[in-house]
Chains A and B, each alone.
Chain A
Amino acid sequence: MALNLFKLSSPASFYPFAGRLIPWFVVLTVLLTVAGLYLGFVVAPTDYKQGEAYRIMFVHVPAAWMSMFIYVVMAVYAGLALVMNTRLSTMMATALAPTGAMFTFIALWTGAFWGKPMWGAWWVWDARLTSELILLFLYIGYMSLYAAIDDPRRAARASGLLVLVGVVNVPVIYFSVKWWNTLHQGASVSFGQAPEMAATMLMAMLIMSLAFWMYTIAIVLMRVRCEILERERQSEWVQEAIARERGNG
């Protein structure tokens, strides 16, 4: 299967390609989630300080990582769309946004449910929590701005600019715990130095991060195929794809 990236940038060839990939990512998501949860709840020991509460980490950290990572990928596609004006990159950015917003909400929600027993508060105007909340508003802003403008080209341009302006917020979130002395935990896992966590805890968290990544790819590919069908519904190949899809139900 010659992976011709140029050919893949056309919606017509990307649509079937994405369709073939989705099942693999679904299987990977399920396997990794089961493995991650098993490690996290059965193998990983009780924390000497936090007892069992730390197990929220196995969804909180992956969700937070994904919320930042998805936004950066969205910014890349939005930038591509602005520069090269390729329809598929706008569709990818649009397909990524809802999942990014969901993971941001999950990071905030699970963070609050972890903060209440540990800090005694659901919410604190802490540098990291506040910048993550801004990230949620940026996602919602992007989606509503894109939906508000009828002409697809102008919508892509306006929302693309918003994403690019907002991308500065991601390093703020990441380094917030270093720049300001925050109530939020510093980076226990960072590039360049050994993580300060028990091996099984770390393994469970990394596997759950991978699981969330596979989930994101699967759901975004599914959503971008919807975007492609909607945008390209006039074209010939969509009619054939519809006939073929309707054929096998």
Chain B
Amino acid sequence: MAEFVSMGGYGFYIWGSYLVTALLMVVEVILVRRRRQKLLTRLARISARNSQESSERKS
């Protein structure tokens, strides 16, 4: 295992490349999912208020 991590002495460079790549891709997914959640809640609140206003106008 240690030999795998050391990667023939290039471990720092190899894992430095792979960790940053993995980190950036995971963070990007998290950001898009969070953006979607916030959007859905905001739009749901707006549509709830709209339907509430329209029902008040009717009554």
Residues of A within 8 A of B (CB): 41, 46, 51-53, 55-56, 59-60, 63, 98-99, 102, 105-106, 109-110, 113-114, 116-117, 215, 219, 222-223, 225-226, 229-230, 233, 238-239, 242-243, 245-246
Q: Which A residues touch B46, using CB under 8 A?
A: 233
Other-chain contact of B24, A46, A102, A226 (Cβ < 8 Å): A102
Are B44 and A246 closer than 8 Å at their CB atoms? Answer: yes
A46-B8, A229-B43, A233-B46 known; A52+B36 contact, CB < 8 A: no
Are A117 and B13 closer than 8 Å at their CB atoms? Answer: yes
* B14: min CB distance to chain A, Å: 6
Give residues of chain B (15-59) contacting chain A, Cβ–Cβ below 8 Å: 16-18, 20-21, 24-25, 28-29, 32-33, 35-36, 39-40, 43-44, 46-47, 50
Q: Which B residues touch A102, using CB under 8 A?
A: 24-25, 28
Q: Which A residues touch B39, using CB under 8 A?
A: 226, 229-230
* A122: min CB distance to chain B, Å: 10
Give the secondary structure class of A's interface: helix
Other-chain contact of A226, B16, B29, B32 (Cβ < 8 Å): B32
Are A56 and B14 closer than 8 Å at their CB atoms? Answer: yes
Known: A53-B13, A55-B7. 20 other contacts (CB 8 A): A46-B8, A52-B8, A53-B14, A56-B18, A102-B25, A110-B17, A113-B13, A113-B14, A113-B17, A117-B10, A222-B32, A223-B32, A223-B35, A225-B36, A233-B43, A239-B43, A239-B50, A242-B40, A243-B44, A243-B47
Q: Which B residues touch A239, using CB under 8 A?
A: 43, 47, 50
Other-chain contact of A222, B13, B21, B33 (Cβ < 8 Å): B33
Which residue on chain B has the smallest CB distance to residue A233? B43
Are B32 and A242 closer than 8 Å at their CB atoms? Answer: no
* A8: min CB distance to chain B, Å: 21
Please list the 10 inter-chain residue pairs (A to B) with the smallest Cβ-Cβ separation, ordered nearest first: A52-B8, A110-B17, A53-B10, A52-B7, A113-B17, A51-B8, A113-B13, A56-B17, A59-B21, A239-B47
Docked CA distance A105–B35 (Å): 22
Q: Which A residues touch B18, using CB under 8 A?
A: 56, 59
Q: Which B residues touch A242, using CB under 8 A?
A: 40, 43-44, 47
Q: Which B residues touch A99, using CB under 8 A?
A: 28
Q: What are 15 A-B contacts with C-beta separation under 8 Å?
A: A41-B4, A52-B8, A53-B10, A59-B18, A99-B28, A102-B25, A106-B24, A109-B21, A113-B16, A219-B28, A223-B32, A226-B35, A229-B39, A239-B50, A243-B44
A230-B39, A246-B40 known; A219+B32 contact, CB < 8 A: yes
* A215: min CB distance to chain B, Å: 7
Q: Which B residues touch A59, using CB under 8 A?
A: 17-18, 21
